[in-house]
Amino acid sequence: MQYHKPRMRKVRILATLGPASDTPEMIEKLFRAGADAFRVNMSHGDQADKAQLIANIRALEKSYNRPTTILVDLQGPKLRVGTFADGKVELHTGDNFRLDTDATPGDAHRVHLPHPEIFAALEVGARLLLDDGKLVLRVTEMGAEHINTIVEVGGMLSNRKGLNVPDVVVPIAALTEKDRSDLAFALEQGVDWIAMSFVQRPEDVAEGKKLIGDKAALLAKIEKPAAIGRLEEILELADGVMVARGDLGVELPPEQVPPLQKKIVSTARRMGKPVVVATQMLESMIVSPSPTRAEVSDVATAIYDGADAVMLSAETAAGAWPIEAVSIMDRIAQQVEGDPDFFKRIHFTETPADGTTADALAEASGRIVDTVETSAIVCFTSSGSTARRISRERPAVPLLVLTASQITARRLGLLWGAFAVRTKDIGSFEEMVAKGKRMALRYHLGHAGGRIIIMAGVPFGTPGSTNVLHIVRLTGDELKGH
């Protein structure tokens, strides 16, 4: 049997699949170029196409004898204006413009707004952003069936353009009927992560968790300013978080996004939840074979901050250079992680241990790696919680995660530094040591005479019971007879 050698890169690359990359051949090429996990975007295409796409991703498991990780991204509610009699109008700065409940096609003075919830939520002085923030309206007066505004930034506005309401919490459920259908489909397909859009409050995450149960992990997308104020509460409930910079950048002044990105990443790290940095990371590579220097710096910054994963969107889904985009992201990551100061920088974020045995041992493993020469941390886990605790410490050596659960192995594909392998359960301390040593050698994470750290919970197979940390020396004979 072929054993796929783990990537030594710590940060994970999440690649979005689309028309430019949805064939089995392209998915394999992206994987070989460095993609660790794949995003399926439910905003485009139908469920039948997605079922084939998911099957194509899963086929990698057989070819490479390693778990694949699939994230399905739900569209979420899309707020849009209605239509215009002539298809589009030009709004001039200083003009008055009305949004109302009348479904008649609009003109340069008014348009239909088919979202009654917004009328109840808005206040005088609130902003309305149209077409990804290109046009800005300010509310001057309102009633149950109309919103009067003044145009602060004008421009062309055409049928069904998007609307953002950054200044208030909009009383709209984060899951639409389409999302509920797509979620049921994704869970049927056995995907690993569900990304939830339009999260404004912890209640939104609670609703998603209730529907998902334990069938997948939930990634909350932070794209609404309202979510920032309740970030810790949202993270308490979610299994991970995404910094959705595109939408944040529409609803907030662009200069506010970088400090918020750092805040979201450090909060998630402190709470031990995986964090993905997404949107426009190598945007120019949609049409160009190489990125701008600014984009390279942007990716590097997310990696220096200790993000678990960096994501490619249109670059791999619809761009002209999908393989090159993954390859360059991989090279940037390797260069950053090879910086002698890299580990100093990612430890700027303090991740204090909770008062549990498991946290104390995970913290100790990171310190041992810095004190005693070790080549890997090998951890046995059934739920993945031990791996997440160790990963939170951002250790300088690879983390080999051994689990009997295919579900756990797949979900760990978004976790910083973790290389998950599905293997049979262990029954005794001696078996744990023997298997840990054998697997470290098999996956080239140790050498004769070297040391590894082994972590597990006794009794074996009990989730969340990590209570053993053992340092062992490898002889090199462990693979004989296997």
Per-residue pLDDT tens digits for 44-71: 999 999 999 999 999 999 989 899 999 9
180 in catalytic set: no
Instruction: Give 126's contacts (C-beta < 8 A, 6+ positions apart).
Output: 138, 139, 165, 167, 168
pLDDT confidence bin for 100, thresholds 50/70/90: very high
Q: How many CB atoms lie within 10 A of CB 19?
A: 11
The DSSP bridge partners found for residue 141 are 148
Q: How many CB atoms lie within 10 A of CB 466?
A: 26
12 in catalytic set: no
Whole-model pTM: value is 0.94
Query: Which helix (DSSP H) or strand (DSSP E) does residue 69 occupy?
Result: none
The DSSP bridge partners found for residue 17 are 40
The active-site residue, picked from 7, 80, 262, 331, is: 80
Secondary-structure percent of the chain, ordered helix, strand, coil, rounded to 5: 35, 25, 40
**The two three-digit tokens of residue 311, written as one number:** 């994501």
The active-site residue, picked from 68, 69, 267, 279, is: 279
**The two three-digit tokens of residue 438, written as one number:** 């054998």
Average pLDDT over residues 112-127: 93
Residue 255: per-residue pLDDT: 94
The better pLDDT of the pair 352, 23 is held by 23
Instruction: Give 26's contacts (C-beta < 8 A, 6+ positions apart).
Output: 20, 322, 323
Q: 193, 194, 199: which is closest to 173 by C-alpha?
A: 199
Compute the distance between CA of residue 347 and CA of residue 284 in angstroms, rounded to an integer. Answer: 31
Handedness of CA 437, 440, 442, 447 (dihedral sign): negative
**Which of 96-110, 316-330, 468-482 is least confident?**
468-482
The greatest distance separating any two alpha carbons of the chain, rounded to the nearest whole angstrom, comes to: 82
The active-site residue, picked from 9, 12, 221, 224, is: 221
**What are φ and ψ of residue 460, in 5° steps?**
-65, 150
Would the pLDDT of 457 be above 60?
Answer: yes
269 in catalytic set: no
The average confidence (pLDDT) of the chain is 94
Task: For Cα atoms 5, 6, 9, give the angle at the middle one, nearest 5 degrees.
Answer: 140
Please report the domains of the chain, with CATH numbers, ordered by start residue.
12-76+174-338 (3.20.20.60), 88-164 (2.40.33.10), 357-473 (3.40.1380.20)
The active-site residue, picked from 9, 39, 209, 437, is: 39
Kindly state the DSSP code that residue 147 receives in the 8-state scheme: E
- Give one word for 374, left, alpha or beta, with left for phi > 0 and alpha for psi -120 to 50: beta
pLDDT confidence bin for 1, thresholds 50/70/90: very low
Q: 214, 210, 249, 206: which is closest to 230 by C-alpha?
A: 206
371 in catalytic set: no
Kindly state the DSSP code that residue 283 receives in the 8-state scheme: G
pLDDT confidence bin for 353, thresholds 50/70/90: confident
Instruction: Give 24's contacts (C-beta < 8 A, 6+ positions apart).
Output: 56, 59
Residue 482: per-residue pLDDT: 59
Would the pLDDT of 258 be above 60?
Answer: yes
